[in-house]
Amino acid sequence: MAVRFQLLGPLSMTDGTDTVVLGPSKPTNLLAALLLRSNSIVSAGYLQQMIWGDEQPATAKAALQTCVLRLRRLFERQHVLDTPIEAAPGGYRITADERTLDLIEFRARVRHGTALADDPAAELTTLRHALTLWQGSLLANVRSETMHRDEVPRLVEERLRTVERVCDLELTLGNCGAALVELWSATRAHPSHGRFREQLIEALYRTGRQSEALSEYRGFKEYLRDELGVDPSPALQKLELAILRGESLGPAPESEHPQALPPAPLPAALPAPAAPAELLAPSPPPDPSPSTRAAAPPAWTPVPSFTGRATEVAALVARLTTQPGTELLCGAPGIGKTALARHVADLVRDHFPGGCRVIDMADRGETVGTGARDVPEQIDADPRTLLVLDDVEDPGHVRPLLSARRGAATLITSRRGLAALVATHGGRVTRLDLFTAAEAHALLRAALGTERVAAEPGAAAELALLCGRHPLALRIAAARLLTRPALRIADAVGWLTDDPLTRLALPDDPRLSVARVLDGALERLAPPLPAVFAALGRLGRDRFHPADAATAVGAAGTSPLTPSETETALERLADAGLLEDGPPGPYRMHPLLRGYARTRYPDRDPQKV
pLDDT tens-digit series, residues 272-297:
333 333 323 333 333 333 333 334 44
In whole angstroms, give the CA distance from residue 582 to residue 580.
6
Sheet holding 355-360, edge to edge: 355-360, 385-390, 410-414, 326-331, 428-432
Digit-coded pLDDT (tens) for 409-464: 899 999 887 888 888 888 889 989 888 888 898 889 888 888 888 899 999 999 99
Task: Identify whether 585 is part of a domain.
Answer: yes
Task: Identify whether 579 is part of a domain.
Answer: yes
Between strands 326-331 and 428-432, the pairing is parallel
The candidate with the shortest Cα–Cα distance to 115, out of 254, 259, 262, is 259
**101 beta partners:** 5
Examine the domain organization and report whether 458 and 417 are in the same domain.
Answer: no
Q: What's the pLDDT score for residue 109? A: 95
The candidate with the shortest Cα–Cα distance to 343, out of 297, 304, 296, is 304
Q: What is the CATH number of the domain that holds 72?
A: 1.10.10.10
Most trustworthy range by pLDDT among 40-49, 80-89, 221-230:
40-49
CA 254 to chain centre: 34
Q: What's the pLDDT score for residue 49? A: 92
Which of 73, 103, 133 is where one domain is finished? 103
Minimum mean pLDDT range among 133-142, 358-367, 394-403: 358-367
For the chain, the residue count is 609
Whole-model pTM? 0.52
CA quadruple 571, 577, 578, 579: dihedral sign: positive
Average pLDDT estimate for 2-20: 87
Based on the number of CB atoms within 10 Å of its own CB, is 18 exposed (0-12), middle (13-18) or buried (19 or more)?
exposed
| CA angle, residues 601, 465, 480, in degrees to nearest 5 | 80
Examine the domain organization and report whether 427 and 442 are in the same domain.
Answer: no
Q: What's the pLDDT score for residue 239? A: 92
| Mean model confidence pLDDT for the chain | 81
pLDDT at 370 over 60: no
Which of 497, 516, 535 is where one domain is finished? 516
Residue scoring higher pLDDT (204 or 258): 204
Task: Identify whether 129 is part of a domain.
Answer: no
Minimum mean pLDDT range among 40-44, 95-99, 125-129, 222-226: 222-226
Task: Identify whether 174 is part of a domain.
Answer: no
Q: What's the pLDDT score for residue 259? A: 54
Examine the domain organization and report whether 392 and 448 are in the same domain.
Answer: no
Task: Grade residue 269 by pLDDT with cuts at 50, 70 and 90.
Answer: very low
Residue scoring higher pLDDT (351 or 494): 494
In whole angstroms, give the CA distance from residue 198 to residue 208.
16
The candidate with the shortest Cα–Cα distance to 155, out of 31, 36, 10, 12, is 36
Examine the domain organization and report whether 454 and 544 are in the same domain.
Answer: no
Task: Grade residue 376 by pLDDT with cuts at 50, 70 and 90.
Answer: very low
Average pLDDT estimate for 359-369: 56
- Residue partners of 90: CB distance under 8 A and separation at least 6: 41, 43, 44
- State whether residue 296 is helix, strand or coil: coil
Average pLDDT estimate for 91-101: 93
Examine the domain organization and report whether 421 and 441 are in the same domain.
Answer: no
Digit-coded pLDDT (tens) for 495-545: 988 888 888 888 877 778 888 888 888 888 888 888 888 888 888 787 888
Residue scoring higher pLDDT (524 or 603): 524
Examine the domain organization and report whether 452 and 491 are in the same domain.
Answer: yes
In whole angstroms, give the CA distance from residue 317 to residue 315.
6
Examine the domain organization and report whether 469 and 557 are in the same domain.
Answer: no
Digit-coded pLDDT (tens) for 112-126: 999 998 899 999 999
Residue scoring higher pLDDT (402 or 109): 109
- Residue partners of 606: CB distance under 8 A and separation at least 6: none
Which of 482, 516, 550 is where one domain is finished? 516
Examine the domain organization and report whether 502 and 563 are in the same domain.
Answer: no
How far CA 230 is from CA of 219, 221, 233, 418, in Å, comes to: 13, 9, 9, 52
In whole angstroms, give the CA distance from residue 37 to residue 57.
24
Between strands 85-88 and 505-506, the pairing is unpaired
Task: Identify whether 59 is part of a domain.
Answer: yes
Q: What is the CATH number of the domain that holds 538?
A: 1.10.10
Q: What's the pLDDT score for residue 477? A: 92
Task: Identify whether 113 is part of a domain.
Answer: no
Other residues' Cβ atoms within 10 Å of the Cβ of residue 564? 9
Task: Identify whether 82 is part of a domain.
Answer: yes
Examine the domain organization and report whether 397 and 457 are in the same domain.
Answer: no
In whole angstroms, give the CA distance from residue 282 to residue 270.
31
Q: What's the pLDDT score for residue 541? A: 80
**329 beta partners:** 413, 430
In whole angstroms, give the CA distance from residue 386 to residue 319.
13
**42 beta partners:** 92
Task: Grade residue 363 by pLDDT with cuts at 50, 70 and 90.
Answer: low
Average pLDDT estimate for 555-583: 81
Backbone dihedral angles phi then psi of residue 413, each to the nearest 5 degrees? -115, 145
Q: What's the pLDDT score for residue 68? A: 93
Digit-coded pLDDT (tens) for 197-247: 999 999 999 888 888 899 899 989 988 888 888 888 989 999 998 888 888
Q: What's the pLDDT score for residue 563? A: 85
Tally of domains within the chain: 4
Residue scoring higher pLDDT (259 or 234): 234
Q: What's the pLDDT score for residue 253? A: 52
Q: What's the pLDDT score for residue 42? A: 94
Task: Identify whether 20 is part of a domain.
Answer: yes
In whole angstroms, give the CA distance from residue 257 to residue 183.
18
Examine the domain organization and report whether 379 and 444 are in the same domain.
Answer: no
**93 beta partners:** 86
Digit-coded pLDDT (tens) for 49-72: 999 988 888 888 899 999 999 999
DSSP category for residue 376: -
Q: What's the pLDDT score for residue 337? A: 92
| CA angle, residues 408, 409, 411, in degrees to nearest 5 | 140
Examine the domain organization and report whether 543 and 569 are in the same domain.
Answer: yes
In whole angstroms, give the CA distance from residue 501 to residue 484.
20
Average pLDDT estimate for 81-102: 90
Residue scoring higher pLDDT (32 or 572): 32
Task: Grade residue 358 by pLDDT with cuts at 50, 70 and 90.
Answer: confident
Examine the domain organization and report whether 483 and 530 are in the same domain.
Answer: no
Sheet holding 42-43, edge to edge: 42-43, 91-94, 85-88
Minimum mean pLDDT range among 25-39, 457-471, 573-587: 573-587
Average pLDDT estimate for 258-272: 45
Domain that holds residue 443: 437-516
Between strands 355-360 and 385-390, the pairing is parallel
Task: Grade residue 608 by pLDDT with cuts at 50, 70 and 90.
Answer: very low
